[in-house]
Structure 1
Amino acid sequence: MKSISFALITSLLILSSLIIGCAPAQVNLFPRHTDPLREQVLEGHHSDKVLVIPVQGFISSTPQEGLFTDKPSMVQEVVAHLNKARGDSNIRALVLLIDSPGGTSVDSDILYHEIRRFRQQTNVPVVAVMLGVAASGGYYISLPADVIIAHPGTITGSVGTIFVRPKIHELLDKIGVEAKVTVSGNHKDIGSPFRPDSGEEEAILQSMVDELNSQFVRRVIRHREPSEEALETISSGRVFTARQAKELAMIDEIGYLPDALKLAKLMGEANPAARVVAYRRSLHSNDNLYNTMTNRSSSFPLVVKTLPRNLAPQSPGFYHLWIPSV
């Protein structure tokens, strides 16, 4: 059977979309993530603005590779939003919509630093709003905010650091395969998946985890000033409900996004009718506050797409991440 050309498949998809009522203007087979960010007004009409930036998913500086297009990393996208906001003197407040289980320790700290730097350079108040999950690195990046608000159903906390690496030596033993590694020093292949860790190596890795975690805990102390008893509970690494987090002074309020916007306008001394804006790379029909996409996805259900990045680590390394499935 002759293979069907890509052009023919594309034509059939466009025809099928028209048959089911899709307007040609909505055709967007391959979203262009290189398009510039443009402001879109979600509500309000006054010249004062409250900017909403979504921070959703795994915190990483690695671009997400797709079948036909690549998507910018979360770090790149959030920093692009912050940089664009710096040039707008009408922005009176920034609202971060956080829904993330965390990510790499380095990238979590990068976003923390960039958000804190934006706050210091612009004097624009920042309100962090936690949605479903704002755990580990997701909590870490909320710390520079002037106020942290959690949805009543939010899961947060998981203040801690993990080192993740695969171990396949037992599998290799079962199938009779050996990996021979020649090293220049005793610990050059520390964490190798091809052999168990020695006691000394475990101690080295633990010391590194402890050092990175101490930085996380220091950030919590600096921004939240918990009591000694609360800090002991917080630094245990467990997750908390919104109510539990408020009792530990990890967050300031429990509420909904409209509550956060109202507070942001007050903090930024903005007009009550201030425009609530977001930055998009493409227009979205019926756009609203809960849209966390900057680019419209393909409108064709038959287009083959790569699966979204797994929320589990993709490579060995140190993470501020809550991964209960691992």
Structure 2
Amino acid sequence: MEIDREKIRKQNRKLNWIIIAAVVFVGAALTLSAVMGSRVDAKKIAGLSRKGGLFSSASSGDRVGVLYISGVIHSGRSGAGGFMGSRTSGSDSIVSMIENAAVDPGVKALVVRINSPGGSAAGSQEIYDALLRFKQKKKPVIISMGDVAASGGYYIAAAGDTIFADPATLTGSIGVIFSLVGYEELFKKVGLDSNVIKSVEHKDIGSPYRPMTEEERQILQGAVDNIHSQFISHVAKGRGMDIEEVSKLADGRLYTGEQALGNKLVDKMGGMHEAVEFAAKKAGMPSSPKLEYLQKENPFMSLFETASEIGSGVLANKIAEAAAKQMLAAPGIETR
């Protein structure tokens, strides 16, 4: 019997399009559910007033800006998350939102909701500095800590005028870490060799293909200690504490919100509702103010970008590249 190959090819193409359509449909549902669900939860957290109603959301008139810093902090643009990954906070994106709110005459105060374990030291510093510039506009910055506001998350919080935390919030972790992985023994076992040609002695410092020298360890330790000193200095400045007082707390340990209050690392117990009301009061606004959520995302953008990447093969390359970086590349210095 003769096989109609052209007919089979057409059927396969049709099946492929059906599968792609199904994936896109399911992805859209999951993404919309995740994004809308998180926004509803955010409004519930931020919005229940003492009268039982919701704060209203607005982009005009006098209002309190609300900025979310969620997930790992890093340089560059924020990651939207959705069904393909976790939400992250990129300093470029966050700083841009802060700067826009600073020049908006209708935004009278800013509440920063932090739910982050930390991340890039440089990214945290950039956001910290942007909040200080916002305060120069004579607009208050109120911090609201979620489940976790630690290390780089606390670094950013230290820029606030007032910090709210829940009793069970995990915060603190005032420290710096620089992690390296060595693959020398693995390479020997699989018969691989690495040849490095460099212009100066320390150009390949931190290489995973050879043992670290004691001199290199001291160099990297010096960098970590220097950034840790910067961290302590910024916390002391933001909290109105002595360097020595902060140094005693800056051994990397976590504190609950209640413990942090006792150590003067936070100011008040309370959640988003209390933070918003306090921000309004500080800005001379009435209770239950209008809110403007600074993250204005299109919930379908990341979905369409991902669908496009699936079709073009870019996504597979990105996954492979990310895996390779995770395994082989030395990470940056992190405040977490």
> Which range, TM-score by smaller chain?
0.7 to 0.9
Match of 2:275 among 254, 260, 275: 260
Partner Cα distance (1:239, 1:14) in 2: 41
Matches within 5 A, 1:14-29: none
Deviation at 1:227, TM superposition (A): 5.5
The change in CA–CA distance for 1:201 and 1:12 in structure 2 (over 3 A counts) is closer
Deviation (angstroms), 1:232: 3.5
User: Which residue does the alignment assign to 2:5?
Assistant: none
Q: CA deviation at 1:174?
A: 2.4
Partner amino acid for 2:265?
M
Instruction: Provide Cα deviations, 1:228-248, integer angstroms capped at 9, x if missing partner.
Output: 774243211111111111111
- Seq. identity, %: 31
Q: Please point out which of 295, 299, 302 is paired with 1:296.
A: 299
Query: Which deviates more from structure 2 when the two are superposed, residues 230-239 or residues 72-81?
Result: 72-81
Q: In the TM superposition, what whole-angstrom CA distance separates every residue of 1:132-167 from its partner, at most 9, and x where no partner exists?
A: 111111100111110011122211111111112221
* TM-score normalized with structure 2 length: 0.73
Matched residue SS, 1:141: helix
Hey, what's the Cα distance between the residues in 2 that align with 1:143 and 1:27? 33
Mapped contact 1:104–1:317 kept (Cα < 8 A)? no
- State the alpha-carbon separation in 1 of the partners of residues 62 and 234 from structure 2: 32
Q: Which residue matches 1:131?
A: 146
The farther-off stretch of 73-82 and 94-103 is 73-82
Q: How much has 1:253 moved relative to structure 2?
A: 1.1
Distance 1:160 1:167 in 2: 23
Uncovered stretches (5+) of structure 1, i.e. residues with no partner = 32-40, 282-293
Distance in 2, matches of 1:117 and 1:154, equals: 27
Shift of 1:72: 9.1
Q: 1:27 & 1:137 partners in 2: Cα distance?
A: 28
> Residue 76 and residue 6 in structure 1: after superposition, are their counterparts in 2 closer, same or farther (change >3 A)?
farther
- Which of these residues, 99, 108, 127, is aligned with residue 124 of structure 2? 108
Aligned residues: 287
Letter in 2 for 1:94: L
Q: Does 1:98 align with 2:114?
A: yes
Alignment of 1:276-315 (within 5 A): 276-281=291-296, 294-296=297-299, 315=329
Aligned to 1:58: 72
1:16 is displaced (CA, Å) by: 7.9
Q: Is 1:202 matched up with 2:217?
A: yes
Q: Any idea what SS the aligned residue of 2:206 has?
A: coil
Q: Distance in 1 between matches of 2:81 and 2:144?
A: 29
Cα separation, partners in 2 of 1:189 and 1:210, compared to 1, 3 Å:
same
Equivalent AA in structure 1 for residue 229 of structure 2? S
Shift of 1:189: 1.1
Amino acid at match of 2:209: F
Aligned to 1:160: 175
- In the alignment, structure 2 segments of 5+ residues that lack a partner are 1-7, 36-46, 48-53
Which structure has more RCO (C-alpha within 8 Å, separation ≥ 6)? 1
2-side partners of 1:178 and 1:13: how far apart?
42
Paired position in structure 2 for 1:37: none
